[in-house]
């Protein structure tokens, strides 16, 4: 067990120092707190450090072998924590905590219950840390802020507002509803893109299999015959040779292109240009805009209803839009509002927000019902997203089938056309 040297004050304010073993610094702090000691400094004991160096020299060979497993273990743990921090998982956790608090259970006991029933290891560790910090006197919002992968800035700010207003359980219920709505919206978009992605992979696999296995055998027969081939057959043979002989080069070029695109898109200018292009796409552009506006309206309404000031709410909301163009519009709106303008005016002036949305926001500002009007905007756009996704799915299905059929038909036609020409020549 590790050994620590510590300094602090006892219950009467007298400075004390000593050496004590504990599992970690947090366990040491809790043990001394029960003894009435307030810690001011903790560091590993020099004796323990010397022993650690001796042990390190003794097991150096084994550590080298263990390092081979360490990297995959870290990667696996990172992937596991990403699953533990999913929106649906955090939404369920939030609703459970709100239910316990509304039933009159103390916050510390509620966190204990959540830790005990948490099944995912990553989430259990995070909840245990939050419980420890809360027991040591830290507010719940600050304890959650220590884990940004699980609790985003929006979440932490709303919890802080609930703590300050004394209605934490009501705000947690609202947060759970908000997160579940966002998860449903994300699920709709993913489901719309899932079918074309699967069809693209299957179609590409079938065409690649034909090009690398069937076509080379057929083209060998044409080469033996010494017959002049049509242009489309020559093109098919060229593609087949490229896929068969230079697949590694194509793969390397593809990986380099993806890497270069990601690096370019990571720059501020690259992301701005790409996001502007996305918004201008014929079908997907309008869908991406609707999703972003729905997220903007729902998030802003939730934060304003929770008591967060408008400028602070807009600063947080811009980070959940997922589009650099719209983020810039919201940032410019914040500056205009700081100078005395309303919300609707800069949004309308940008041309990126539909006029009906700007009009509804303006009406909400004039009537003092901005939160309710934003909720109406989000609900209306959720319906629009559902309808557009349904139409998109209906349209994509025949288009994907047509594309696959066209690719296979091109291969079959390019193979059969020289054979037909040979028959005509024989006759």
The beta-carbon contacts of 171-177 under 8 Å, at least 24 apart in sequence, are: 171/306, 172/94, 172/95, 172/97, 172/98, 172/101, 173/95, 173/98, 173/102, 174/302, 174/305, 174/306, 175/94, 175/98, 175/302, 176/91, 176/92, 176/94, 176/95, 176/98
pLDDT in tens, 122-163: 888 888 899 898 888 888 988 998 888 888 887 888 888 788
Per-residue exposure over 90-111, b if at least 16 CB sit within 10 Å of its own CB, e if not: bbebbbbbbebbeeeeebeebb
pLDDT of 422 reads 65
Q: Is residue 351 domain-shared with residue 377, that is, in the same domain?
A: yes
Q: Is residue 123 domain-shared with residue 256, that is, in the same domain?
A: no
Question: Which of 25, 48, 82 is a domain's end point?
Answer: 82
Query: Following DSSP, what letter does each residue of 52-68 receive, concatenated?
Result: HHHHHHHTHHHHHHHHH
pLDDT block averages, 10 residues each, the chain of length 427: 67 68 72 72 56 41 38 41 67 89 87 84 87 88 88 84 81 85 78 76 81 77 69 81 83 92 90 91 85 86 82 83 88 87 87 89 88 88 82 79 82 78 58
| ∠ Cα 290 296 300 (to 5°) | 150
Dist. CA 410–CA 239, nearest whole Å: 12
Q: Is residue 106 domain-shared with residue 197, that is, in the same domain?
A: no
Residue 314: alpha-carbon gap to chain centroid: 20
Q: Is residue 249 domain-shared with residue 319, that is, in the same domain?
A: yes
pLDDT in tens, 308-350: 888 888 888 887 788 889 989 998 888 888 888 888 888 888 8
pLDDT of 339 reads 85
Q: By residue range, what is the domain housing residue 42?
A: 3-82
The total number of structural domains that make up the chain: 3
Interacting residues of 191 by C-beta distance below 8 A, sequence separation 6+: 389
Question: Which of 180, 196, 216 is a domain's end point?
Answer: 180
Q: Is residue 297 domain-shared with residue 366, that is, in the same domain?
A: yes
Question: Which of 161, 180, 199 is a domain's end point?
Answer: 180
Tell me the two tokens of residue 227.
């017959």
For the whole model, what pTM was predicted?
Answer: 0.63
Output the domain CATH number for residue 111. 1.20.81.30
Q: Is residue 367 domain-shared with residue 412, that is, in the same domain?
A: yes
Q: Is residue 238 domain-shared with residue 343, that is, in the same domain?
A: yes
pLDDT of 9 reads 65
- Which residues are 44's β-sheet partners? 4
Q: Is residue 139 domain-shared with residue 189, that is, in the same domain?
A: no
CA count, 13 A, side-chain hemisphere, 339: 7
pLDDT of 39 reads 66
Dist. CA 96–CA 98, nearest whole Å: 5
């Amino acid at each position: 067990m590790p050994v620590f040297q510590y300094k602090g004050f006892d219950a009467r304010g007298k400075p004390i120092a000593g050496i004590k073993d504990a599992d970690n610094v947090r366990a040491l702090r809790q043990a001394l707190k029960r003894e009435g000691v307030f810690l001011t400094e903790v560091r590993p004991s020099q004796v323990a450090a010397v022993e650690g160096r001796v042990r390190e020299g003794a097991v150096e060979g084994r550590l080298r072998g263990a390092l081979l497993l360490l990297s995959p273990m870290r990667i696996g743990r990172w992937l596991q924590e990403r699953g533990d921090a999913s929106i649906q998982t955090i939404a369920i956790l939030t609703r459970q905590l709100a239910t316990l608090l509304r039933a009159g259970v103390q916050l510390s006991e509620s966190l204990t219950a959540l830790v005990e029933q948490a099944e995912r290891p990553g989430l259990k560790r995070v909840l245990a840390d939050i419980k420890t910090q809360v027991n040591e006197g830290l507010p719940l919002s600050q304890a959650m802020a220590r884990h940004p992968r699980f609790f985003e800035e929006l979440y932490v700010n709303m919890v802080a507002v609930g703590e300050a207003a004394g209605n934490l359980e009501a705000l947690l219920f609202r947060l759970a509803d908000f997160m579940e709505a966002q998860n449903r919206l994300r699920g709709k978009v993913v489901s719309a893109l899932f079918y074309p992605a699967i069809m693209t992979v299957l179609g590409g696999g079938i065409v690649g299999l034909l090009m690398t296995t069937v076509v080379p055998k057929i083209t060998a027969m044409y080469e033996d015959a010494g017959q002049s081939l049509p242009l489309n057959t020559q093109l098919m043979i060229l593609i087949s040779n490229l896929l068969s002989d230079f697949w590694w080069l194509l793969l390397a070029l593809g990986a380099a292109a993806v890497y270069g695109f990601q690096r370019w898109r990571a720059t501020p200018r690259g992301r701005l240009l790409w996001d502007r292009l996305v918004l201008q796409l014929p079908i997907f552009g309008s869908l991406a805009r609707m999703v972003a506006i729905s997220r903007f309206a729902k998030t802003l309404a939730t934060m304003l209803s929770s008591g967060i000031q408008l400028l602070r709410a807009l600063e947080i909301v811009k980070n959940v839009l997922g589009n650099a163009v719209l983020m810039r519009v919201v940032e410019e709106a914040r500056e205009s509002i700081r100078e005395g303008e309303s919300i609707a005016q800069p949004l309308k002036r940008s041309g990126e927000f539909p006029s009906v949305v700007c009009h509804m926001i303006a009406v909400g500002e004039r009537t003092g019902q901005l939160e309710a009007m934003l909720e109406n905007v989000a609900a209306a756009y959720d319906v629009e997203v559902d309808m557009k996704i349904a139409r998109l799915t209906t349209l994509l299905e025949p288009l994907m089938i047509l594309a696959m059929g066209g690719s296979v038909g091109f291969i079959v036609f390019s193979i059969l056309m020289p054979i037909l020409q040979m028959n005509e020549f024989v006759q």
